[in-house]
Amino acid sequence: MHNLKFVQKEKRLTSWIDVNERLPNVGEPCWYYFEPVGRHRGKFHGLYEDENGKTWEGMHIFATDYGWLTGDVTHWHPDQEEKPDVPN
């Protein structure tokens, strides 16, 4: 029983997460994925907020030191040293 719980927990921790299911915490290091540009390791910077203070729910911001994506990322993965496989 304990081994099954460990395997389920391990799978959950190493699987890609759809951004529509859940987003990382703001500032959390992670891998993120958008098919045209592939997988990148960076951080989640929160949701876009316009000049009027309106937060745009679908406009999640993921960034590295060499670029960012706003609203395009489809999946994210908890941070790890090794580049994770492409999400299914």
The domains of the chain are located at: 2-78
What CATH topology corresponds to 2-78? SH3 type barrels. (2.30.30)
CA distance 74 to 57: 14
Residue 12: pLDDT over 50: no
Determine the pLDDT at residue 56. 96
CA distance 55 to 59: 8
pTM assigned to the model: 0.80
Q: For residues 69 and 27, is the Cβ–Cβ distance under 8 A?
A: no
State mean pLDDT over 11-22.
81
The residue with greater pLDDT, 60 or 11, is 60
Which tens digits make up the pLDDT trace of 38-54? 999 999 999 999 999 99
Determine the pLDDT at residue 88. 80
Using DSSP bridges, classify how beta strands 38-49 and 67-70 pair: parallel, antiparallel or unpaired: unpaired
Determine the pLDDT at residue 14. 63
